[in-house]
Amino acid sequence: AMYSKMCSKFKSKKKVWLAHLCYLLKHSRHDEAHSLLKRALLSLPPYKHAETMSRFAQLEFEYGSPERARTLFDGILAKYSKRLDLFFVYVDKEVKFGSLDAARALLQKRIEQGNHNDKQVKSIFKKWYRVEELHGTDESRERVKETAREFVMKSSK
């Protein structure tokens, strides 16, 4: 009840909505959380949508279902395809709560899409290598380097 009051009083504050969403997910009230997200997006100004949806997807990874979180992140990235910051959050959550293989597949797919400039591609490879440094093997690190070399060869033709 308190959260509802807060949300109606501070409609334009994403922090209030996220606190309520977090509360609902922690108490396994997923359906309520999803309908609340819809209400939040109607109340919040559009520039706060990406960040709010990203935070909600992160909360889903932590307290809800990784499968639902993936669906949310895929939707977010379809809408905000240029936002690498959101993509990197997805990768981090996948590594922490999901699976390393899924994170690798995301990174690989992102590189193969080929719709990034050199600077973005470099940061994707750096991210991928950091993930492998922390959680991978010598072979997986080598595979990232090899993929990067192949990419450079292909793009310099």
pTM: 0.88
Per-residue b or e along 74-106, where b marks 16 or more CB atoms closer than 10 Å to that residue's CB: eebbeebeeebebbbbbbbbbbeebebeebbeb
Contact in structure between 50 and 80 (CB atoms under 8 Å): yes
pLDDT tens for residues 102-128?
A: 999 999 999 988 778 889 999 999 999
Write the CA distances from 18 to 13, 33, 39, 57, 90, integer angstroms.
Answer: 9, 10, 12, 11, 18
pLDDT reported for residue 44: 93
Closest by Cα among 59, 56, 57, 47 to 12: 47
Amino acid at 32: E
pLDDT reported for residue 78: 93
For every one of its 157 residues, what pLDDT tens digit does the chain have, with 9 covering 90 and above?
788 888 888 888 999 999 999 999 999 999 999 999 999 999 999 999 999 999 999 999 999 889 999 999 999 999 998 899 999 999 999 999 878 999 999 999 999 887 788 899 999 999 999 999 999 999 999 999 999 999 888 877 6
Six-digit token string for 141 = 């690190």
